[in-house]
């Protein structure tokens, strides 16, 4: 049998779901489509780090979000929580990969990876809740980056549960 097939199927499933969660978190974290709004002739989109506005020449120009222009309490909280979720999910994937491929007898790595997945999922979920509670944001304006982080948080929690099951 191969290296991966020595592991239990539930562990492999948890590992795959953790990888999916990490990839979705990466996309949601890095792209600037948490918010998309169309007003009259102009449309803009924003992420956790930058806002993209149309120019007079018809192109779109992106710039870093400056908190001096508007209240950023919710945005700062979301940035912190989503950054923590991203880093912890990366750690979870590494821990479980090391347990599956290198140290098969060290079950503690899988358990640590499971805890990391659940914690990262909780942080990501709290992050999207904090972002959505901003009073100026309408739910119809939320876009795919926001949705990817929600799906990532659920996948992270599911991966953690799958990794805990014996």
* Full pLDDT tens readout for the chain, 166 residues: 455 556 788 888 888 999 999 999 999 988 887 888 787 777 877 777 887 887 777 777 777 777 765 568 788 888 899 999 999 999 999 999 888 888 877 888 889 999 999 999 999 999 999 888 876 776 677 888 889 999 999 999 999 999 898 7
The Cα diameter of the chain in Å comes to 62
Which residues are CB-neighbours of 67 under 8 A, at least 6 positions away?
75, 76
Q: Are 100 and 7 in contact (CB under 8 A)?
A: yes
* Residue 10 burial (10 A CB sphere; 0-12, 13-18, 19+): middle
């Amino acid at each position: 049998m191969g290296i991966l097939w020595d592991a239990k199927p539930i562990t492999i499933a948890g590992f795959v779901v953790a990888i999916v969660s990490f990839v979705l978190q990466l996309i949601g974290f890095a792209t600037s489509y948490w918010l998309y709004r169309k007003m009259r002739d102009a449309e803009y989109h924003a992420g956790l780090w930058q806002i993209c506005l149309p120019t007079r020449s018809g192109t779109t120009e992106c710039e870093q979000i400056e908190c001096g222009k508007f209240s950023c309490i919710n945005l700062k909280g979301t940035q912190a929580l989503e950054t923590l979720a991203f880093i912890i999910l990366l750690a979870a994937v590494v821990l479980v990969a090391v347990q599956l491929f290198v140290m098969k007898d060290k079950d503690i790595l899988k358990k640590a990876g499971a805890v990391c997945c659940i914690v990262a999922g909780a942080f990501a979920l709290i992050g999207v809740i904090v972002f959505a509670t901003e009073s100026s944001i309408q739910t119809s304006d939320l876009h795919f980056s926001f949705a990817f982080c929600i799906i990532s948080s659920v996948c992270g929690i599911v991966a953690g549960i799958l990794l805990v099951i014996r």
